[in-house]
């Protein structure tokens, strides 16, 4: 056990975190949904194969693991003033990373269209992509262009390195990084209009053959 903890120091800095004062704004069913979502994402991010990948990436980028103080998997989504939902944030001076969920509304529409399994693959990989992205901000700070380009490269490497990833992961990559709305990439923030996003997602999945088989 000690060996394992020593190998993945980032894993020990991860917490599920909820803003209790915001809980009252959400209905009981929403809270239940977001709690389940966050515990799923938390497990996905703590998987040794992914932690191993992050360890490798940080070393390659010469980012000290000490630069990361906390990684909070937030239970509730974060909506910006422009209505967009954030996938993650990074406070570079404090070394504090936050990963946010998609909204329940988005997930319900997604599940109806593509099924529960594809939603789980999507949610896990979206969180992985967000964590990779936010970790890179520790080095590249405000250089969003470089962070986005590198995030995309690293995420692709990550999906290739994961032994247990289903073949869907690559297509989810296409969905996360190449579904564009008015020329804007989906990371770090995506559109809040599930119907718009899903049309693009559906096109990506069809093109990739994931949807060619009957569900």
Site residues for Zn ion per CB under 5 A: 147, 188
Distance CA 125, CA 170 (A): 10
Distance CA 99, CA 41 (A): 9
Least distance in angstroms from the C-beta of 120 to Zn ion: 25
Contact (CB, 8 A) for 139 and 132: no
**Which stretches within 14-78 are classed as H helix?**
20-23, 28-46, 48-60
Residue 162, CA atoms < 13 Å, CB-side half-sphere: 24
Least distance in angstroms from the C-beta of 90 to Zn ion: 7
Distance CA 148, CA 211 (A): 28
Nearer to Zn ion, 179 or 198 (CB): 179
Nearer to Zn ion, 127 or 210 (CB): 127
Nearer to Zn ion, 89 or 166 (CB): 89
Two tokens at 47?
Answer: 């998987």
Nearer to Zn ion, 124 or 188 (CB): 188
Least distance in angstroms from the C-beta of 3 to Zn ion: 34
Least distance in angstroms from the C-beta of 126 to Zn ion: 14
Two tokens at 72?
Answer: 């909070």
Calculate ∠ Cα 36-168-42, nearest 5°: 25
Distance CA 192, CA 128 (A): 20
Phi and psi at residue 15, to the nearest 5°: -140, 150
Closest residue to Zn ion, based on beta-carbon distance: 188
Nearer to Zn ion, 10 or 87 (CB): 87
Least distance in angstroms from the C-beta of 133 to Zn ion: 6
Least distance in angstroms from the C-beta of 135 to Zn ion: 11
Nearer to Zn ion, 119 or 187 (CB): 187
Distance CA 102, CA 77 (A): 6
């Amino acid at each position: 056990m000690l060996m394992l903890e020593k190998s993945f120091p980032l894993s020990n800095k991860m917490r599920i975190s909820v803003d209790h004062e915001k809980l009252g704004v959400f209905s009981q069913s929403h809270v239940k949904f977001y709690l389940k979502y966050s515990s799923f994402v938390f497990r996905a991010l703590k998987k040794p194969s992914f932690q191993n990948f992050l360890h490798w990436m940080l070393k390659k980028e010469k980012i000290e693991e000490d630069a990361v103080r906390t990684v909070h998997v937030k239970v509730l989504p974060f909506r910006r003033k422009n209505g967009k939902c954030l996938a993650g944030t990074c406070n570079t001076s404090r070394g504090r990373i936050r990963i946010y969920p998609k909204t329940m509304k988005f997930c319900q529409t997604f599940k109806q269209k593509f099924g529960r399994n594809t939603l789980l693959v999507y949610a896990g990989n979206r969180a992985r992509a967000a964590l990779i992205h936010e970790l890179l901000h520790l080095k590249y700070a405000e250089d969003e262009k470089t962070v986005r380009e590198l995030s995309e490269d690293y995420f692709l490497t990550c999906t290739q390195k994961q032994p247990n990833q289903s073949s869907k992961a690559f297509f989810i990559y296409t969905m996360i990084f190449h579904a564009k709305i008015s020329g804007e990439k989906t990371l770090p923030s995506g559109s809040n209009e599930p119907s718009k996003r899903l049309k693009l997602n559906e096109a990506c999945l069809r093109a990739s053959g994931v949807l060619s088989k009957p569900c």
